[in-house]
Amino acid sequence: MKFALFISVLLLNAAAHAAPPCPPLLNHTVKDIDGEPRNLCAYAGKVILVVNTASNCGYTGQYKGLQGLYEKYGKQGLVVLGFPANDFGGQEPGGNAVIKDFCETNYQVDFPMFTKVGVVVHNANPFHEDLARATGERPAWNFHKYLIDRSGMRVMSFPSRVDPESVEMVQAIETLLKARSGTHKLTLREP
């Protein structure tokens, strides 16, 4: 009897510490900035800020605010994911190594960065395509932001002009960080 109780406690403890299930929105494998495949399911249970970035844009200074958010809220469960894109004005012409060096040298970026991708309608990678369907909004320029709740079921969209450290963005992040689990169902809209 004691052995069965012991096994039950072990199983309950293991279940309590198991990784959260992967929501469909995050069920994508993408390459990080070094070319290594990364499954976005690893970020399930976190509040995720997804940003299409560029090194030669008027909004490039937002890297500083993105890094600041990551440093301030990372321990509370926020992760920033940077996706360089060259879709707008050719403002991200460099290769992945150049982009990585630029971000680390100029903005001390240490949040996850991924290989250069497309984000516009005829060039969007599958993850950004799902984000666009979920929100009904596509990036119109560099530094468009998608904020995903812990459940991976609720997604908000913020245009490039919304600064990462703006009151609007910080309030949205803090609200999602306080919510332990999402109660909204994600409905992917058709493009």
Q: Enter the tokens of residue 49.
A: 């800020």
pLDDT at position 179 is: 87
Residue type, 105: T
Distances (CA, A) of 156 to 66, 93, 122: 16, 28, 22
Q: What is the pLDDT of residues 4-27, one digit of tens each?
A: 545 555 455 554 456 678 999 999
Q: What is the mean pLDDT of residues 138-161?
A: 97
Which of 6-10, 90-94, 185-189: highest mean pLDDT? 90-94
Show the DSSP H helices in the chain as ranges: 2-16, 62-73, 96-107, 126-135, 167-178
Residue 21: the pLDDT is: 86
Tokens describing residue 81: 């994911």
Paired with 50 in beta bridges are 81, 146
Contacting residues for 49 by C-beta, under 8 A, at least 6 apart = 66, 69, 78, 79, 80, 81, 145, 146, 147, 148, 164, 173
Q: State yes or no: is 22 an active-site residue.
A: no
Active-site annotation holder among 22, 41, 57, 103: 57
Mean pLDDT taken over the chain: 89
Name beta bridge partners: 39.
29
The C-alpha atoms of residue 111 and residue 104 are separated, in whole angstroms, by 10
pLDDT tens, position by position, 54-77: 999 999 999 999 999 999 999 999
DSSP assignment letter at 161: T
Per-residue confidence (pLDDT) for residue 31, from 0 to 100: 98
Q: What is the pLDDT of residue 11?
A: 52
pLDDT digits (tens, 9 = 90+) for 161-184: 999 999 999 999 999 999 865 444
Length of the chain: 191
- pLDDT at residue 149 tops 60: yes
| Residue 3 scores a pLDDT above 60 | no
* Domains recognised in the chain with CATH numbers: 20-178 (3.40.30.10)
Q: Which is more confident, 124 or 1?
A: 124
d(CA 135, CA 186): 9
**Residues 171, 141: contact at Cβ < 8 Å?**
no
- 123 near 106, Cβ under 8 Å? no
